[in-house]
Amino acid sequence: MNARIESLPRAQYLADTHEVSNLSSELCDYNMFTGDAALCEAVRREGAQWAEAGLSEFGKLTGSADYLELGTLANKFQPEFDTHDRFGNRIDLVKFHPAYHQLMKTSIEHGLHASPWTTPGPGAHVARAARTYLHTQVEAGHGCPITMTFAALPSLRLQPELARIWEPKITARVYDPRNVPMEQKQGITIGMAMTEKQGGSDVRTNSTRAHPVGAVGPGEAYELVGHKYFVSAPMCDAFLVLAQAPGGLSCFLLPRWRPDGSKNPMQVLRLKKKMGNASNASSETELRGALAWMVGEEGRGVRTIIEMVSMTRFDCMIGSSAGMRMATSQALHHCAQRSAFGKVLDQQPLMQNVLADLALESEAAVTLTMRMARAMDHRADEHEELMVRLATAVGKYWICKRTPNHAYEAMECIGGSGVMEDSMMPRLFRESPVNAIWEGSGNVQCLDVLRALSKTPAVVDAFFAEVGLARGAHAALDRHVADLARDFRDLQDFEYRARDIVDRMALAMQASLLVRHAPGVVGDAFCRSRLEQLGHHNYGSLPRGVDVAAIIARATPQAGT
């Protein structure tokens, strides 16, 4: 019997069924900066040419296999929360995977949280936006505390004596995650707590009370009692918080630890159970007489914190543009290697139409984002300041809202493997709606655009001057802008029509930028597909005659570069 078995041929055919063929490889070990033509051109055009060498180094890091793995790990091993230590002491401690800490460390050491404040000047916001765009492609969740730390400073500076103490540590390039008083740290992070159960968009309904400890008014100490329904990154060292002072809704700086070294009673109840943004801890908290100092004028809390919010909105544009870029890169990389029906996918006309369309959307997003970064760098210029006021809301609304469907469509390009948890696509997909919802949801952005139009009418002229720079470059754009100008004259039902108006404003801005600055094939395809086919656009509906191969070649990341 044994002899008969031994004489059988070896089972080599069984092993042959496991031969891997026609599957793509991991997109890694590429330069995320130099391999992104639209980004490179935008950085140069918008004034940060001086940062190119550093960005190239950074792009090499963010595109490396080991570094991309940090993004996977930070989301796989999600933050864990303890209210108390084992001896019963209240600690409110969130523990993160080392990968999360490494992402935070890199961000802070490269100034993603502060560089335009410490070294302002032409291109400062542009360079920082480019770095943030690259880093977010690795991992988006850790960007929440980085953004809030970055965004807090303009609000905090409204209370100079507080800023003098806090600013040096906020802007320091030192990441120190320890749960200890800020006096013991060289570098700190800042969060934000506005949203309450009964109202997120409408913060005027905030019920948290601020009771003066002694003297009243800006810079003075209060004790806050209430709850906050969403507090992301509760391990931050301090938070900008809205609460009702006797003189109305006001902004406060609330530290995690009191100056006497005792724990400030901002108690985390639990972490939110989120569908995405998994590496970032978001919490529900109670303020039980937590010490805080008033920032800005009493009763002008929204006015004060809006300085922070407008910065976080800009970062939502960066974050969603980055998500689109990574989704596009993944789809292009896969389709360049995968064949079906005897032909590589990116050589098949219908797939070329889809891929080129995804690439157009992604390029339009980063182009508008970087244009707004330039506006941030030149706020002393009246036109640029008006653009910041108007176009941050337009861009935040439009780019963030375009992202979920883009992520899904890129996932579909990859087919079944795109749905698998061991690819990056589910993470990109689950992250994709978040930027649209926080920092002012879609309708709120549209209403903010209307507010700007009515309170600062000069934004209308600034907008038409900006898009008018492309007058005569494309007939579809000229018609689109003329229609928009006509609709602006009819203010009836403006609130009801706000989404339609803001959609078309965003398209006008993106088209105007692309026809002026991108290769002709890109600008033309964008105008023809977005402006002439308005209302029935699904990805993959580019009209006849578009040079899809050129658009795909431009957008495809080059592995090994």
List residues near ligand FAD by CB under 6 A: 191-195, 199-202, 230-232, 274, 277, 282, 434, 437-438, 441-444, 447
Q: Give me the least distance between CB of 508 and ligand FAD, in Å please.
A: 23
HSE, side-chain direction, 13 A CA sphere, residue 537: 25
Q: Crossing angle for the helix pair 349-377 and 548-555, nearest 10 degrees?
A: 50
Q: Which helix (H) or strand (E) holds 515?
A: helix 498-517
Q: Give me the least distance between CB of 442 and ligand FAD, in Å please.
A: 5
Nearer to ligand FAD, 60 or 256 (CB): 256
- For residues 302 and 312, is the Cβ–Cβ distance under 8 A? no
Reference 512, options 533, 493, 526; nearest CA is 526
Q: How many CB atoms lie within 10 A of CB 432?
A: 25
Q: Give me the least distance between CB of 232 and ligand FAD, in Å please.
A: 3
Q: Give me the least distance between CB of 550 and ligand FAD, in Å please.
A: 38
Nearer to ligand FAD, 308 or 413 (CB): 308
Nearer to ligand FAD, 171 or 277 (CB): 277
Q: Give me the least distance between CB of 103 and ligand FAD, in Å please.
A: 17
**DSSP-derived 3-state class of residue 512:** helix
Q: Give me the least distance between CB of 540 and ligand FAD, in Å please.
A: 28
Nearer to ligand FAD, 173 or 303 (CB): 303
Nearer to ligand FAD, 183 or 202 (CB): 202
Q: Give me the least distance between CB of 164 and ligand FAD, in Å please.
A: 26
- For residues 254 and 206, is the Cβ–Cβ distance under 8 A? no
Amino acid at 324: M
**DSSP-derived 3-state class of residue 8:** coil
Nearer to ligand FAD, 48 or 103 (CB): 103
- Residue 510 to residue 515: CA distance in whole angstroms: 9
- Residue 501 to residue 487: CA distance in whole angstroms: 8
Nearer to ligand FAD, 201 or 405 (CB): 201
Nearer to ligand FAD, 50 or 81 (CB): 81
Nearer to ligand FAD, 242 or 518 (CB): 242
Nearer to ligand FAD, 344 or 450 (CB): 450
Q: Give me the least distance between CB of 518 and ligand FAD, in Å please.
A: 32
**DSSP-derived 3-state class of residue 27:** coil
Q: How many CB atoms lie within 10 A of CB 267?
A: 18
Q: Give me the least distance between CB of 50 and ligand FAD, in Å please.
A: 34
Nearer to ligand FAD, 137 or 282 (CB): 282
Nearer to ligand FAD, 282 or 367 (CB): 282
- Residue 236 to residue 179: CA distance in whole angstroms: 9
CA-to-CA separations, 98 to 134, 170, 196, in angstroms, rounded: 20, 22, 31
Q: Give me the least distance between CB of 104 and ligand FAD, in Å please.
A: 16
Residue 290, phi then psi, degrees to nearest 5: -75, 130
- Residue 149 to residue 187: CA distance in whole angstroms: 11
- For residues 358 and 413, is the Cβ–Cβ distance under 8 A? yes
DSSP secondary structure code for residue 275 in this structure:
S
Q: Which helix (H) or strand (E) holds 149?
A: helix 143-156
Going by C-beta distance under 8 Å and a sequence separation of 6 or more, which residues neighbour residue 322? 132, 133, 134, 136, 137, 140
Nearer to ligand FAD, 171 or 280 (CB): 280
Q: Give me the least distance between CB of 305 and ligand FAD, in Å please.
A: 9
Amino acid at 484: L
Q: Give me the least distance between CB of 203 and ligand FAD, in Å please.
A: 8
- Residue 23 to residue 337: CA distance in whole angstroms: 7
Q: Give me the least distance between CB of 283 and ligand FAD, in Å please.
A: 8
Strands 90-95 and 80-84: antiparallel
- Residue 112 to residue 560: CA distance in whole angstroms: 26
Q: Which residue is nearest to ligand FAD (CB)?
A: 200
Going by C-beta distance under 8 Å and a sequence separation of 6 or more, which residues neighbour residue 259? 181, 183
**DSSP-derived 3-state class of residue 38:** helix
Going by C-beta distance under 8 Å and a sequence separation of 6 or more, which residues neighbour residue 132? 112, 143, 146, 315, 318, 319, 322
Q: Give me the least distance between CB of 193 and ligand FAD, in Å please.
A: 5
Nearer to ligand FAD, 281 or 548 (CB): 281
